[in-house]
């Protein structure tokens, strides 16, 4: 029935002289998302992109709904620039849309005419095509130009007229890769995968750093994090995960730092390690899943002391969100069910009953001076394993 998918983008359209950079990256990301589905034609025109359908709409549309930068996806049928053919295609598209419902139904025809050389103007095309659809339909079909049940859209372009009646939403945002590279501190919890998704939505290409404390944390915990990365890779095409062997450093923190400062010292060590990995892969910022006041390590006092351990920006996309909002988004993007698997990560180990919520920098520096953390960081980095995750 449909021979192409019409793709609309939103925020990219507000760009000026560098708009082509965003469009080219979006087209590249679309190609990557569909690469394993076989060869097909792709086209880019002002404000729109088109992908050839080869009878695999049910595979193509869900893939496109995970490509950042896209706001709308419509399976379309292309007609030659002849009014009679446009009428015939519109009748077929309406009939297909009508099959999805029963009883009385209203419709309207909406026309966009970027190709100004077509002899009829948009209102004239809409009247002619609407009349043809109504003539072909049964007595339960009526016209409603204000609140129709079905809207038949026609876009008249130089290469043909595209007719469609369905619109699947996309994730919006900017194409991944247009805003540089970032490094995400990725745990097995609910928050950090959502933070990574939000960073990607703003065009950031993300890699993950996971801190693994075997045998205190099991390989099932590591597997959970890799499964989360595989879900995030659906939105970016691929994702590297750096698995840091954190056991010795975490034990040293537990043995030498005051218990109430353990979480703060641990977070500072994580930032130091993540920053060095980020520098190696040319990342411009670190991303975390912290939200103000959610736990003791996420008070403004704790965040300020933790941030001081890093020289590059530490960005927190969830900073003003409450837990319910984060959970809802985790369910929407497909990470929630993985995050709630009962396998603890290193962030839940050795947590005192009463962690310090207002750590003082001088006390934290004294705690860090009580052991050779630089040697332990170097050892952890030397054992770091990089795993390249593909979408699944």
Residue among 73, 65, 69, 74 at smallest CA distance from 15: 69
Confidence of residue 348 (pLDDT cuts 50, 70, 90): low
Q: How far is CA 325 from the centre of its chain?
A: 16
Confidence of residue 387 (pLDDT cuts 50, 70, 90): very high
Q: Residue 300 has what pLDDT?
A: 92
- In this prediction, residues 374-384 reach a mean pLDDT of 96
Q: Residue 130 has what pLDDT?
A: 97
- The CA-based angle 44-76-11, given to 5 degrees, is 45
Q: Of 6-15, 338-347, 368-377, which one has max mean pLDDT?
A: 368-377
3-state secondary structure of 150: strand
Q: Could you report the per-residue pLDDT of 122-160, keeping only the tens digit for each?
A: 999 999 999 999 999 988 999 999 999 999 999 999 999
**Separation between Cα atoms, residue 105 and residue 284, nearest integer Å:** 53
159: how many CB neighbours lie within 10 A of its CB?
12
Q: Could you report the per-residue pLDDT of 300-347, keeping only the tens digit for each?
A: 999 999 999 999 999 999 999 999 999 999 999 999 999 999 877 655
DSSP 3: -
Asked if the model's pLDDT at residue 373 lies above 60, the reply is yes
Q: Residue 345 has what pLDDT?
A: 65
Confidence of residue 377 (pLDDT cuts 50, 70, 90): very high
**Residues present in the chain in total:** 392
Mean pLDDT of the chain, nearest integer = 93
Asked if the model's pLDDT at residue 350 lies above 70, the reply is no
Q: Residue 294 has what pLDDT?
A: 77
Q: Could you report the per-residue pLDDT of 13-62, keeping only the tens digit for each?
A: 788 888 999 999 999 999 999 999 999 999 988 889 999 999 999 999 99
Q: Residue 355 has what pLDDT?
A: 80
- In this prediction, residues 183-206 reach a mean pLDDT of 97
Q: Which residue has the higher pLDDT, 231 or 217?
A: 231
**Separation between Cα atoms, residue 154 and residue 164, nearest integer Å:** 7
Q: Residue 37 has what pLDDT?
A: 93
Do the bridges between strand 42-45 and strand 205-212 make them parallel or antiparallel, or are there none, so unpaired? unpaired
Q: Are 222 and 210 in contact (CB under 8 A)?
A: yes
Task: Please give the C-alpha separations between residue 188 and each of 232, 254, 306, 328, 390, in angstroms, as whole numbers.
Answer: 13, 21, 20, 17, 18
Q: How far is CA 170 from the centre of its chain?
A: 10
Ramachandran bin of 170, using left for φ above 0, alpha for ψ from -120 to 50, beta for the remaining angles: beta
Q: Could you report the per-residue pLDDT of 283-304, keeping only the tens digit for each?
A: 999 999 999 987 767 899 999 9
Question: 374 Cβ partners below 8 Å, 6+ apart?
Answer: none
């Amino acid at each position: 029935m449909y021979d192409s998918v019409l793709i609309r983008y939103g925020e990219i359209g507000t760009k000026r002289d560098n708009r082509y950079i965003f469009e080219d990256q979006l087209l590249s990301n679309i190609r990557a998302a569909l690469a394993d589905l076989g060869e097909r034609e792709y086209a880019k025109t002002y404000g729109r992109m088109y992908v050839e359908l080869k009878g695999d709409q049910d595979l193509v549309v869900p893939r496109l709904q995970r490509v950042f930068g896209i706001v709308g996806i419509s399976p379309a049928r292309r007609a030659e620039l002849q009014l009679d053919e446009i009428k015939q295609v519109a009748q077929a598209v309406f009939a297909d849309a009508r099959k999805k419902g029963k009883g009385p139904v209203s419709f309207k025809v909406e026309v966009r005419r970027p190709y100004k050389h077509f002899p009829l103007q948009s209102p004239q095309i809409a009247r002619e095509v609407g009349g043809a659809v109504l003539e072909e339909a049964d007595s339960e079909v009526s016209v409603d130009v204000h609140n129709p049940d079905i809207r038949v859209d026609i876009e008249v372009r130089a290469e043909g007229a595209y007719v469609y009646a369905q619109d699947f939403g996309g994730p919006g945002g900017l194409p991944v890769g247009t805003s540089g590279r970032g490094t995400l501190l990725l745990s097995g919890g609910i928050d950090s995968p959502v933070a990574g998704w939000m960073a990607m939505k703003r065009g950031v290409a993300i890699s993950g750093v996971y801190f693994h404390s075997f045998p205190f944390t099991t390989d099932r915990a590591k597997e959970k994090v890799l499964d989360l990365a595989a879900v995030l890779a659906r939105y970016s095409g691929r994702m590297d995960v750096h698995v840091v062997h954190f056991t010795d450093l975490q034990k040293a923190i537990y043995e030498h730092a005051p218990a109430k400062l353990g979480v703060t010292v641990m977070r500072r060590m994580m930032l130091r390690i993540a920053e060095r990995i980020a520098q190696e892969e040319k990342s411009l910022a670190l991303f975390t899943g912290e939200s103000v006041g959610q736990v003791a390590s996420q008070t403004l006092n704790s965040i300020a002391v933790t941030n001081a351990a890093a020289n590059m920006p530490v960005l927190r996309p969830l900073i003003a969100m409450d837990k319910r909002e984060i959970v809802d988004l985790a369910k929407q993007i497909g990470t929630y069910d993985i995050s709630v698997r009962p396998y603890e990560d290193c962030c839940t180990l050795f947590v005192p009953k009463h962690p310090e919520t207002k750590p003082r920098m001088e006390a934290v520096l004294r705690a860090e001076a009580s052991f050779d953390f630089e040697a332990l960081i170097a050892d952890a980095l030397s054992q770091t394993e990089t795993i390249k995750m593909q979408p699944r």
